[in-house]
Structure 1
Amino acid sequence: MTTAKAHVLNALLDARMLVRGRMRFYEHFLTFVRDFYIDGKMPIIVYSMGKTGTTSLAESLQHTRGAAVYHIHRMNMSYAIRSGDRVLDNKAVVKNRLGAALYSHVIKRGKPAKMNTLVRDPARRNISGFFQSFRNHAQVPLEHARFSMDEMIRIFLERYPHDTPITWFDQEVKPMLGIDVYGTPFPREQGHLVLTHGQSELLILKGEVADTVKEQAIAAFLNLPSFRLMRSNVAETYAELYRQFLHQIRLSNVYLDPLYTIAAYTPLLHRCRDYQHVCILAAFALIE
């Protein structure tokens, strides 16, 4: 595909996603108005950085009768812009605008809200995010890309925003909710923690703990005794390419050290140091 054709294709995709995204946002916002202002339901907000496994959590909660559930990645729109979020992306339009609306109508007004967030191995989260948002960084959809594996790794290292797992809590949760996640010791063995500020309650779950542990923590936090997690069976079309990428990439401790400053993953970093340049594969093996 020529560069000119790629630009035209990207422009057409942007226009289509912008229209669809705006329509979906209005649908979600009207649902929020009904749930919050008319029915008086307390919002249950799945509020997490992308690619941490929250889709399954959100869908499971949405199957809970009577719950008003919203799945967002951002409330802080200025951080979204600084981070290079594609505001034209269909899902990003919905989630970013819905997040801003939830902040304005619920959090800023001091209304009660319960929020759930997941933390995941940060290096693996970055690679997963790169594949999902490949077009944003390579200027061509993944299905049309003809890059070698070495070229894909170079694009990932040079263009992907690697610091999101480090900055997200301080740029989102801290200013928007008034909760300092990094200022509170994380109970690594337990795998979950509840933090509160004003009327906002935040349940932090470590993604690698067993589903039964997640279910018990969520059930207690939301007072939903019968809550069960349902796995999202979304088959990734790039699964084989993703596996090849994981097998070939080598990330040094210079890359990994800053990512593993997250309290929940400090022990993993210490165990991972012994593997030196193949640390990334060792880390993945430890959490499988």
Structure 2
Amino acid sequence: METELDRSASQQADAQPQSGVSGKRNSLLARAARRINTGIRRNYDLARLYHQAQYLRGGLRRQQPVIIYQRGKVGSSSVFKSLKRSYTAGPVYHVHFIHEIEREIEQICRQVNLTPRTYFLRSGHLEISRYLQKEIRRGLKGKKWKVISLVRDPLKQRISSFFQVIDMLVPDFQARHRYGTLSIQELTDIFLDRYQQEGALADWFHQEMKPVFGIDVFGSEFPKSKGYEIYLGERADLLLIRLEDLDRCAGDAFGEFLGLSRFELEDDNVASTKDYASAYEEFKRAAILPESYVDVVYGSMSARHFYTEDERAVFKARCARTGGSPSPG
């Protein structure tokens, strides 16, 4: 999993001219930095100190930071990677939660049987979340935070989240999948047992975005045909984009929100590189989800708020054509 440590090393290398002896030296330095970073990531306490030192050194209140802040598995990695290269007015952070961090960690660890140390190494977000929580409470001295969030087809988001932690939910997942002893039906049963909650996306905005920044995204109509909306708050301004519209509207959205004259979205198809990639694709093609379950997901308050009736009908029709789960994508 790429973390802030890896990205910091690669950006430092990218910032240097890559020619002749200088390029070779920079390449060696980058490889050495990645090895050091790997060692740091494997040591929980050293990693904590590393993150604290990096962010305390940043002079945050003298800059205009951007926080990419959303529920997991909504396609935010591409936005984060792109902004790290194109946004120069301040640091760019990427987190999933800021409010009541310890309670959130405890809940996640309990659900998937993780220790806090293991969670730290898997997520790469924990110390960033803690740091931002403190900085948000202090304020930015006359400036507001710039926050970016995304939403996605809710059923695709659930399935992607499921496979992100599949190795913790299914004992010997890799071996069983490799030898064909893990059926799609068994995976479907586990998925349905885990993802029964109806209002998960709405809950995230109410539990995170609203208490942290005072922005209620459900307080006004979302412009579905436009694909994005900018919310102006007292503590922060928020850019909220639908993942399905990202390629189409990224230039306009980031130009309007951050003043970027040119914004190029980099493809970052993380799922295709994961150990579970083949099982993930097979599940999307063959899993049969109950029609009643699909109806609940696409009939939820958050689905209705961000997607039109016709769009939700298309999502559901794709499920019908692929047995019951969303078509690949």
TM-score range, shorter chain: 0.7 to 0.9
| Rounded Cα–Cα distance in structure 2 between residues aligned with 1:161 and 1:81 | 20
Shift of 1:94: 3.2
Tell me the equivalent position of 1:229. Answer: 265
TM-score of the aligned structures, taking structure 1 as reference length: 0.80
Does the CA-based 8 Å contact 2:64-2:145 persist in structure 1? Answer: yes
SS for the counterpart of 2:55 is: helix
Tell me the equivalent position of 1:159. Answer: 194
Shift of the 18–237 alpha-carbon distance from structure 1 to 2, 3 Å rule, reads: closer
Q: Which structure has the larger Rg over C-alpha atoms?
A: 2
Deviations 1:56-114 (A, max 9, x none): 11111111363301110111213453454754324555313311320221x22232210
**80-89 or 234-243, larger mean C-alpha shift:** 80-89
Residue 264 of structure 1 aligns to which amino acid in structure 2? Answer: F
Does the CA-based 8 Å contact 2:149-2:239 persist in structure 1? Answer: yes
Residue among 53, 58, 75 paired with 1:30: 53
| Rounded Cα–Cα distance in structure 2 between residues aligned with 1:25 and 1:197 | 32
Shift of 1:17: 11
| Rounded Cα–Cα distance in structure 1 between residues aligned with 2:245 and 2:48 | 33
Tell me the equivalent position of 1:238. Answer: 276
Residue among 135, 142, 145 paired with 1:113: 145
Deviations 1:128-177 (A, max 9, x none): 1111111232244x423342221111111113475532421111111111
Tell me the equivalent position of 2:226. Answer: 190
Tell me the equivalent position of 1:63. Answer: 85
Residue among 302, 307, 321 paired with 1:265: 307
Shift of the 60–24 alpha-carbon distance from structure 1 to 2, 3 Å rule, reads: farther
Shift of 1:257: 3.7
Shift of 1:222: 1.1
Does the CA-based 8 Å contact 1:192-1:205 persist in structure 2? Answer: yes
TM-score of the aligned structures, taking structure 2 as reference length: 0.71
1:149 aligns with 2:184: yes
Does the CA-based 8 Å contact 1:253-1:277 persist in structure 2? Answer: no
Shift of 1:220: 1.8
Shift of the 210–43 alpha-carbon distance from structure 1 to 2, 3 Å rule, reads: closer
Residue among 152, 173, 190 paired with 2:209: 173
1:205 aligns with 2:241: yes
Residue 104 of structure 1 aligns to which amino acid in structure 2? Answer: K
Does the CA-based 8 Å contact 1:137-1:160 persist in structure 2? Answer: no
| Rounded Cα–Cα distance in structure 2 between residues aligned with 1:280 and 1:219 | 37
Residue among 51, 57, 61 paired with 2:73: 51
Shift of the 99–223 alpha-carbon distance from structure 1 to 2, 3 Å rule, reads: same
Tell me the equivalent position of 1:95. Answer: 125
SS for the counterpart of 1:89 is: helix
| Rounded Cα–Cα distance in structure 2 between residues aligned with 1:117 and 1:151 | 33
Shift of 1:53: 0.7
Does the CA-based 8 Å contact 2:98-2:130 persist in structure 1? Answer: yes
| Rounded Cα–Cα distance in structure 2 between residues aligned with 1:156 and 1:17 | 34
Does the CA-based 8 Å contact 1:24-1:94 persist in structure 2? Answer: no
The runs of 5 or more residues in structure 2 that have no matched partner are: 1-38
SS for the counterpart of 1:124 is: helix
Does the CA-based 8 Å contact 1:192-1:217 persist in structure 2? Answer: yes
Shift of the 28–110 alpha-carbon distance from structure 1 to 2, 3 Å rule, reads: same
